[in-house]
Amino acid sequence: MNILVVGANGQIGKHLVKLIQENGDQARALIRKEEQAAYFKELGAETAIVNLEDEIDAIANAAEGVDAVVFTAGSGPKTGKDKTLMIDLDAAVKTIQAAEKANVKRFIMISSFDTSREAIQAAPESFAPYVVAKHYADEWLLNTDLDYTIIHPGMLTNNPGTNRVNLGASVERGEVPREDIAKVIYASLKNDTTIGKRFRAVGGQTPVEEAIQSV
């Protein structure tokens, strides 16, 4: 399987590319600048240099010939509302459109833990734009014909992965290592029962492969 990882230079993205390569599949890391490429080339991954604020065609060209697209990009906590709008919403929608243009049906979106209307209303002023962006990006994906999976991770940490999670539509808030979210993404790509599903992911006691079977 050939997989385009959008936001590959982020922490989840790096874990995911490594996992893909270690398991005999082929990752194509979409990154913003050439200086970021060395890490991925050492793993044997392909790279595509694309700025997510560019046109849809630039992303579509990077998606040519892949079997799946994973959107893990995010503006980060230190940017303003403008970058939240441009990356977490506009770039996410453009990536969805790019996948359609490149005839890639399988699409995995890394969202926020709760993107409901209620979550928007309850969010602190500084966090609300992020929830709004994720809400509408999710809605756009839900209204396509793509074979989507939307993953809603809990509070992300850099703790070592445990390979044990709790997945489901209504699990309680909790922490989860980014490394384990990468494992959930990869397991979702390998299991077609996750197509058309959206679920939350937090740390738990169930091995990832087993937890994926129950979503």
Which residue's entry shows tokens 């002023």? 125
Tens digit of each residue's pLDDT (9 = 90 or more) over 134-192: 999 999 999 999 999 999 999 999 999 999 999 999 899 999 999 999 999 999 999 99
pLDDT bin (cut points 50, 70, 90) of residue 35 is very high
Does residue 130 have an active-site annotation?
yes
% pLDDT > 70, the chain: 97
> For residue 78, what are the β-bridge partners?
none
pLDDT reading at 83 higher than 90: no
Q: pLDDT at position 126, please? A: 86
Q: Is a pLDDT exceeding 90 seen at residue 75? A: no
As a whole number, mean pLDDT of residues 108-134 equals 94
Phi, psi of 155, deg, nearest 5: -70, 120
Contact criterion met (CB below 8 Å) for 186 and 147: no
Q: Where are the alpha helices (DSSP H) in the chain?
A: 11-22, 37-43, 56-63, 81-83, 92-101, 117-122, 128-142, 178-189, 208-213
Domains of the chain, with CATH numbers? 2-213 (3.40.50.720)
Query: How much is the pTM?
Result: 0.96
Average pLDDT over every residue of 36-51: 97
What residues contact residue 103 under an 8 Å CB cut-off, 6+ apart? none
Kindly report the CA angle at 138 between 30 and 208, in degrees rounded to 5? Answer: 70
pLDDT of residue 78 exceeding 70? no
Looking up tokens 């999710």 gives 138
Question: Beta partners for 29?
Answer: 5, 47
Among 141, 49, 129, which Cα is nearest to 94's? 141
Q: Catalytic one among 130, 136, 148, 186?
A: 130
Q: What angle do CA 114, 117, 122 make, to 5 degrees?
A: 75
Residues 29-52, mean pLDDT to the nearest whole number: 97
Positive/negative CA dihedral, 123, 127, 129, 135: negative
What the block records as the tokens of 175 is 């922490």
Contact 117, 161 (CB under 8 A): no
pLDDT computed for residue 82 by the predictor: 81
pLDDT of residue 208: 98
